[in-house]
Amino acid sequence: MTTPASASTHGAGTADPYDVVVVGGGPGGSTTAALVAMAGHRVLLLEKESFPRHQIGESLLPATIHGICRFLGVFEEMEKAGFMPKRGGTFRWGSNPEPWNFLFAYSPLMSGPTSTAYQVERMKFDKILLDNARRLGVDVRERCAAVAVLEDGADGRVTGLRWTDEEGNTHETSARYVVDASGSNSKLARTVGKRNYSDFFRNVALYGYYEGGKRLPGPDAGNILCCAWDDGWFWYIPLTDTLTSVGAVVNRSQVGTLSRDPEAAMAQFIERAPMIKDYLKDATRVTEGPYGELRVRKDYSYAMERFWQPGMVLVGDAACFVDPVFSTGVHLATYGGLLAARSINSALAGTLDEEQAFGEFERRYRREYGVFYEFLLAFYDMQHNEDSYFWQARKVSQAEVTDLRAFVELVGGVSAANAGETALIDVDTLKERFSTSSKDLADAVDRTGPAQSESGERMGELFGTQVVTDVMQGMNEIQARASLGTATSLERPLFDDGLVASPDGLGWALPATATIDATATAADTDAEDTAAKGSPVS
């Protein structure tokens, strides 16, 4: 084994070369690494591939663009990258046979300039974030693979990482914290605990890329289109004026068919989804380059029983993943990276003890996952094709109590026996919330009616439902803070005994010691009032 001269081990009497080692250069890893480096700490990031590289998940949310990207300092670069603007989503879903829209602009806190996101080619987007981490001082090493964590034999604390470089040499590097952002296939995450899978969202996706596909009319041309059919749903994501990402999400029972003959399977799925068939009638599938193959992705929803242990933190798909119908993957990864960086920075600075800092990370991250999960349960229940196995499998009202209890334990953190977790609800409460959320969403869509293709009708009724309000709360807070560059009146503890972001946004603080700039707070309040009175967006 080769050990670099710069590496050291705890107790050797020399300073550790790195405070933090991050595994994975995707959005979660690069966000964490950059924000820890911004706080003045030494960070090593190891990425097994060479960027740019292909990755699924091209549709972003406003909080990522106007929140996280502003924090990271890449907002202007994103504006110049030429990505497709996205005002919201268009859905052919539920009992309504006509497609309908939701627009980000209907939220008062996302009206005006922050009411859009982007559809991105992940090869370009991920490289922007990784290169930014380099500029901020992160030691980024591509084509380097993690092998195993190093642990203290006495108390099991993670103390560093064993890894191999591009020439196959093995190294050991000590660090105060290891961040696993290596994705859904992570082998390191099992150090923290086991993965709990959802019984309701265990799907597979078959996807590829097409040139020349049809676009939604008018200002909605950049919307993600989600189209339900008897055996699943399609995503249709316009990446450029001519390039489209198209994916069919179906029940896991069809994984064998997808793997044996993906071309025939995709042709069959398109034939059975009239709207997608129409949009692709003049299109050709890309068959060369990084977009030139049909790929299968298991979109299983899951969460680790814990998101951290002493010396180690899980971020992104290594921590959790939820069904992709609302494009939450990059949001959860970058938001998790922000939370992890705040906890790491606070622990390294000694301003908070580790349990308190990472307890806040765990609770906030799990809460964000939980509200999206509940939202998606309600959203899937809007589909009323009772003869379809795919949809019946997702009707939580037909599930056994044990499944519901597993969900409650998952989002509440009970399975992790995390003493800091207090956001628990019982099964009866969950049933009531799900029933109310599902009915509210379905009623809102019915009252709104079909989308007006040229005007992009705003989903006022939909955004008035409680489940949507809960889902958007965290995103709004991130976005408002980043836009103003300081703490806002929105930032209050999410939990009775919780913390708030420090004034610079890079750490945590006790509510009593958090300094909120009065001028920014007043400006924030004025902005909220103005947004609330804004006129409809056409």
Instruction: Quick: pLDDT tens for 494-512.
Output: 788 899 889 888 999 998 7
Separation of CA 531 from chain center: 26
Secondary structure element (H or E) that encloses residue 146, with its range: strand 145-151
Instruction: Quick: pLDDT tens for 371-399.
Output: 778 777 767 765 544 344 344 434 432 33
Instruction: Quick: pLDDT tens for 320-362.
Output: 998 777 778 898 999 999 999 999 999 999 999 999 999 999 9
Does position 486 have pLDDT exceeding 50, yes or no?
Answer: yes
Q: Which residue has the higher pLDDT, 492 or 240?
A: 240
The residue assigned the tokens 């899937």 is 380
Can you give the pLDDT at residue 294? 95
Question: Which whole number is the average pLDDT over 271-291?
Answer: 95
Does position 517 have pLDDT exceeding 70, yes or no?
Answer: no
Q: Which residue has the higher pLDDT, 341 or 228?
A: 341
Residue 287 CB burial class (10 angstroms; 0-12, 13-18, ≥19): exposed
In the chain, the percentage of residues whose pLDDT exceeds 90 is: 46
β-strands 145-151, 177-180: how paired? unpaired
Instruction: Quick: pLDDT tens for 437-457.
Output: 445 545 554 544 444 433 334
Number of other residues whose CB lies within 10 A of the CB of residue 260: 9
DSSP notation for 429-444: HHHHHHHHHHHHHHHH
Can you give the pLDDT at residue 526? 43
Q: How many CA atoms lie within 13 A of 148 on its CB side?
A: 3
**Cis omega before residue 52 (within 30°)?**
yes
Does position 530 have pLDDT exceeding 60, yes or no?
Answer: no
Nearest Cα to Cα of residue 499 among 511, 516, 507, 487: 511
In the chain, the percentage of residues whose pLDDT exceeds 70 is: 68
Number of other residues whose CB lies within 10 A of the CB of residue 72: 24
Report the mean per-residue pLDDT for the chain.
76
Name the pTM for this structure: 0.79
Contacts of 412 (CB under 8 A, 6+ apart): 366, 370, 421, 423, 424, 425
- Residue 283 and residue 287: Cα distance in Å, rounded? 12
Question: Which whole number is the average pLDDT over 505-527?
Answer: 58
pLDDT tier for residue 106 given thresholds of 50, 70 and 90: low
Across-strand partners of 65?
none
Least confident window among 28-42, 166-180, 251-265, 267-281: 251-265
Q: Which residue has the higher pLDDT, 408 or 224?
A: 224
Question: Which whole number is the average pLDDT over 297-304?
Answer: 83
Contacts of 9 (CB under 8 A, 6+ apart): 150, 159, 160, 172, 174
pLDDT tier for residue 81 given thresholds of 50, 70 and 90: very high
Can you give the pLDDT at residue 449? 47
Instruction: Output Rg (C-alpha) for the chain, integer angstroms.
Output: 23
Nearest Cα to Cα of residue 442 among 389, 393, 386, 381: 381
- Residue 351 and residue 509: Cα distance in Å, rounded? 8
